[in-house]
């Protein structure tokens, strides 16, 4: 079988000839399939939220722990919340077999979720930072702009890659659960 027929006829790279990336026991697959079908938005939100927190932890957990729990909340928890919201809004399409039929589409949805998460993170960061400070006045617009610029410059490559990978793994999970 040529690689072009694998790319066009099968959900590559999820299944190629007889190899499947994700295999799971039937009971686990059935539970995942039921959860994702009952509450696809919530399932996708939790999925992308976990990936968002994990990617932020890779970048910032060490330095944030040195600064205290406020920094952990700002640099690890808030990105997870932003990713949850973005996954809730856009990521559920991966779980719908009529919307997402291929891995490139799943990667595109994951990328969309990551871009949305970056946009949502900036105002959430400004709100959370303002809540942790005792200053009487906070420049909300300036803080939001600074958080957005920092997010683009410092974290965009990791965030975008994590979004694509999360989208692909969610697609693989859905595909594996449907096969059982």
Mean pLDDT of 90-116: 90
The pLDDT > 90 percentage for the chain reads 42
Helix (H) or strand (E) holding 15: strand 15-16
Q: Given a cut of 70, is residue 25 above it in pLDDT?
A: no
Is 21 a residue whose pLDDT tops 90? no
Give yes or no for residue 104 having a pLDDT over 70: yes
Give the mean pLDDT of the chain: 82
| Tokens standing for residue 74 | 């700002």
**pLDDT value for 165:** 95
> Per-residue confidence at 164, pLDDT binned at 50, 70, 90?
very high
Question: Residue 83 — φ and ψ, nearest 5°?
Answer: -70, -35
Lowest mean pLDDT among 77-86, 106-115, 123-132: 123-132
Burial of 41 from C-beta contacts in 10 A (0-12 / 13-18 / 19+)? middle
pLDDT over 50 (residue 11):
no
Domain ranges of the chain: 40-179
Q: Identify the pLDDT of residue 8.
A: 42
pLDDT at 28 over 80: no
Question: Cα dihedral sign for 51, 74, 60, 109?
Answer: positive
The three-state secondary structure class of 95 is helix
Q: How confident is the model at residue 130 (pLDDT cuts 50, 70, 90)?
A: confident
What would the two tokens of residue 108 be? 């595109």
């Amino acid at each position: 079988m040529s690689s072009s027929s694998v790319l066009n006829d099968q959900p590559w790279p999820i299944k190629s000839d007889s190899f499947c990336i994700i295999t799971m026991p039937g009971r686990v697959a059935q539970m995942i399939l039921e959860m994702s079908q009952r509450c696809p938005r919530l399932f996708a939100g939790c999925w992308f939220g976990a990936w968002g927190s994990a990617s932020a932890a890779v970048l910032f957990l060490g330095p944030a722990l040195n600064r205290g729990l406020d920094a952990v909340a700002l640099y690890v928890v808030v990105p997870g919340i932003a990713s949850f919201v973005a996954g809730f809004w856009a990521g559920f399409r991966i779980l719908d077999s009529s919307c997402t039929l291929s891995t490139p589409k799943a990667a595109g949805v994951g990328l969309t979720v990551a871009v949305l998460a970056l946009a949502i993170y900036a105002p959430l960061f400004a709100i959370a930072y303002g809540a942790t400070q005792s200053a009487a006045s906070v420049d909300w617009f300036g803080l939001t702009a600074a958080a957005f610029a920092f997010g683009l410059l410092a974290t965009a490559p990791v965030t975008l890659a994590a979004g694509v990978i999360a989208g692909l793994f969610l697609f693989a999970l859905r595909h594996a659960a449907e096969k059982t």
